[in-house]
Each structure stands twice: as structure tokens, then as C-alpha cells.
């Protein structure tokens, strides 16, 4: 670079404008994807929690570390490292930013979901990805998981999001969004289905809860896959999220597995991998989900 420095000095003395290229010192800017340069730019003001999982379990916005970690190993992920669980999880103390809600939310992550039923006569276990827990309850305020739903093969995975909302009188109301993996005889034209063959490979999985329209949806690899007949709840009227508190985030398990009170054969910790977990205080749009998928897939 000495030659370049001399050239710069000479040109500066003559008042000439110039551009010096020195290969290897820097890379040209990459073109935007969906209008964004990197995944962190997507709905940035609504991002409430983010787990990069690059060699540790720290939630990067609050700096919160897991209070307990079970059967977790860091491996190559979609961006940097991710975490592989062998019937394990990471449980966290309460994070203040996740206590309140605008009424809507989105959970975005990458996951590898493995076979949950090794033989036809054995239990079909769920593959928990993320839960915003309720104390002592199986289902948290928000839950995202996969299941084979009775299948022996792992090449077609059902993904389900479940919500539990605290009503004004303190009772709960709830529902879910799920993809159907095939057309069933009872389905009419209002239903949709998707084989969703993501077993054993990294997939971008997103659960959107839209409070003002009372809808919840599932997306995989940028495509909406939830059964359209079951997306709208409360007859389409507003159904805003209101969390039961305290609520604690868990990656890889539901509350009763973490607290040791589980008695359900189907309720196991995750056997699979997770990376790039993000929780937003808004319902991401299709365009935002698509951009997030493409950016993270590109390592950005």
C-alpha cells in the first residue's frame, strides 16, 4: 500500500478526484434483498429478542444468558453457529421486553426437525422449537413446534403454532395454526395443504400472530403453508395478545418438561437443531418474511 499512499498524496496536491482500488482490503457492497442489506434491518424497531446462537446461548438485545442448558452442543448453523439438542433445551429467566405486547407477534427461526416416531407402534413426540411459557402450564403464551403426527418417515413435517391469551377476567382463550401435509377426504375448497418435506434439513420457520385481524399463520422457507381454513380465529374480529405473567422463553422444550412435572408421553425436549431465533412485536408481512429468509440463507 506504500505506492498507493504516494499516489494519493500526489493526486491530492493537484486537487484531482480519484478512486484507488486495492484488492483484498475490502469487498463491494452486496445488493439489497427485499430492500434490506442484512437480516437485522428487517422490522428492526419491532425486534424484541434475538438469539444468534453463535457459540453461546445469550439473547443479544438484553444480554440474558440461559438459566439452564440441557444436552446442547454448538454446531455449524445457517449463519455462523447454531445449537444442536439431543432431547435438550435452553431455558431463560424472564426478559422484560417480552412481557408486554402490541397485540401481535412473530417468531422466526431456523430449525432441523428430525423423525419423532421411529416405529408405527411407538409414541409420536413433538419437536419443540420455542415457547414463551406460562408457569406450571404445558402450553405457553406462544409456542412453535413440529410433529410427524403419526408418520414414520421424517420427510414430511407438520409445523404448528399455538397461542394462549389472557382475557379480561383472567381466563384463557386459545387456538392454533398448522399445515396439513395432505388433502383429507373431508376437506373442501377452503382448506389448503402442503407436504412440507423439511425433515432432517435446515428450514426457515415463522409463526405470525396478527391480533387486529384475529389470524395466525405458519410460513416455511418464505412460503405460507398453514391450512387457510384454520388461520382466522374469533370470526376475524380483533383478538389481541395479552400474556400471562411471568413468562420465560425456552428454546427446545415446553414448560412442564423444564420444570420436571411432565407426564405426557408425546411431550419431549427437542432432538434437532435451532439457529437465528427472533421474536418481533408485530405481525411480519409476507415481504418481510421473504426478505428475512433470503438474507439469513445468504449469511447476512
Residue 278 in contact with residue 99, Cβ under 8 Å?
A: no
The pLDDT of 89-104, averaged and rounded, is 97
What's the CA gap between 256 and 263, in Å, rounded?
8
Q: What is the pLDDT of residue 149?
A: 62
72 DSSP β-pair partners: 85
- Look at residue 152 in the predicted model and tell me its pLDDT: 57
- As a whole number, mean pLDDT of residues 10-37 equals 54
| Non-local CB neighbours of 176 within 8 Å, separated by 6+ positions | 160, 161, 162, 163, 216, 230
Grid cell listed for 222: 418464505
pLDDT tens-digit series, residues 241-295: 999 999 999 999 999 999 999 999 899 999 999 999 999 999 999 999 999 999 9
Average pLDDT for 133-159: 86
Separation in Å, CA 258 to CA 4, 159, 220, 271: 60, 21, 27, 15
As beta bridge partners, residue 253 has none
Beta strands in the chain (DSSP E): 47-51, 68-76, 81-91, 105-113, 126-132, 142-147, 158-166, 172-178, 203-210, 215-220, 223-224, 249-251, 270-280
pLDDT on residue 150: 60
Of 8-12, 25-29, 114-118, 264-268, give the range with the top mean pLDDT: 264-268
Q: What is the pLDDT of residue 116?
A: 66
- What pLDDT is stored for residue 6 in this prediction? 35
Picking from 29-33, 93-97, 221-225, which range would have the lowest pLDDT averaged per residue? 29-33
When pLDDT is cut at 50, 70 and 90, the band that residue 24 belongs to is very low
pLDDT (0 to 100) of residue 115: 65
Residue pair 125/149 in contact by the 8 Å Cβ criterion: no
Q: What angle do CA 16, 19, 21 make, to 5 degrees?
A: 145
Instruction: Give the integer Cα–Cα distance in Å for 105 and 207.
Output: 8
Radius of gyration of the chain (CA): 22
User: What's the pLDDT score for residue 114?
Assistant: 83
Alpha helical stretches, state H, the chain: 2-14, 255-259, 286-297
Cα 93 to chain centroid, rounded: 19
3-state secondary structure of 222: coil
Task: For residue 156, name the pLDDT band (cuts at 50, 70, 90).
Answer: confident
For residue range 63-83, list pLDDT tens digits in order. Answer: 999 999 999 999 999 999 999
Cis bond leading into 246, ω under 30°? Answer: yes
Alpha carbon dihedral 163, 166, 169, 172, in 10-degree steps, equals 30
Cell numbers for 56: 453461546
Q: Residues 154, 168: contact at Cβ < 8 Å?
A: no
Report the pLDDT value the prediction gives residue 121, as an integer from 0 to 100.
73
Amino acid at each position: 500500500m506504500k505506492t498507493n499512499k504516494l499516489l494519493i498524496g500526489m493526486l491530492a496536491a493537484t486537487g484531482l478526484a480519484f478512486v484507488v482500488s486495492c484488492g483484498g482490503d475490502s469487498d463491494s457492497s452486496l445488493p439489497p434483498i427485499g430492500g434490506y442489506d442484512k437480516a437485522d434491518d428487517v422490522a428492526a424497531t419491532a425486534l424484541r429478542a434475538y438469539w444468534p446462537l453463535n457459540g453461546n446461548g445469550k439473547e443479544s438485545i438484553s444480554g440474558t444468558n440461559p438459566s439452564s442448558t440441557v444436552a446442547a452442543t454448538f454446531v455449524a448453523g445457517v449463519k455462523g453457529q447454531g445449537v444442536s439438542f439431543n432431547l435438550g433445551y435452553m431455558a431463560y429467566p424472564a426478559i422484560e421486553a417480552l412481557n408486554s405486547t402490541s397485540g401481535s407477534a412473530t417468531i422466526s427461526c431456523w430449525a432441523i426437525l428430525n423423525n419423532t416416531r421411529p416405529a408405527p407402534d411407538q409414541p409420536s413426540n413433538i419437536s419443540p422449537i420455542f415457547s414463551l411459557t406460562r408457569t406450571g402450564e404445558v402450553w405457553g403464551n406462544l409456542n412453535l413446534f413440529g410433529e410427524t403426527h403419526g408418520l414414520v418417515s421424517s420427510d414430511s413435517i407438520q409445523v404448528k403454532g399455538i397461542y394462549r391469551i389472557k382475557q379480561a377476567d383472567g381466563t384463557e382463550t386459545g387456538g392454533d395454526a398448522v399445515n396439513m401435509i395432505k388433502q383429507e377426504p373431508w376437506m373442501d375448497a377452503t382448506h389448503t395443504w402442503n407436504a412440507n418435506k423439511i425433515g432432517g434439513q435446515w428450514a426457515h420457520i415463522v409463526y405470525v400472530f396478527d391480533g387486529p385481524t384475529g389470524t395466525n399463520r405458519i410460513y416455511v422457507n418464505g412460503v405460507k403453508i398453514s391450512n387457510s381454513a384454520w388461520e382466522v380465529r374469533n370470526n376475524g374480529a380483533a383478538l389481541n395478545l395479552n400474556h400471562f405473567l411471568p413468562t420465560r422463553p425456552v428454546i427446545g422444550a415446553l414448560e412442564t418438561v423444564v420444570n420436571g412435572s411432565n407426564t405426557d408421553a408425546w411431550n419431549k425436549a427437542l432432538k434437532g437443531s435451532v439457529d437465528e431465533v427472533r421474536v418481533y412485536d408485530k405481525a411480519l408481512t409476507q415481504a418481510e418474511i421473504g426478505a428475512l429468509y433470503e438474507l439469513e440463507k445468504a449469511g447476512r
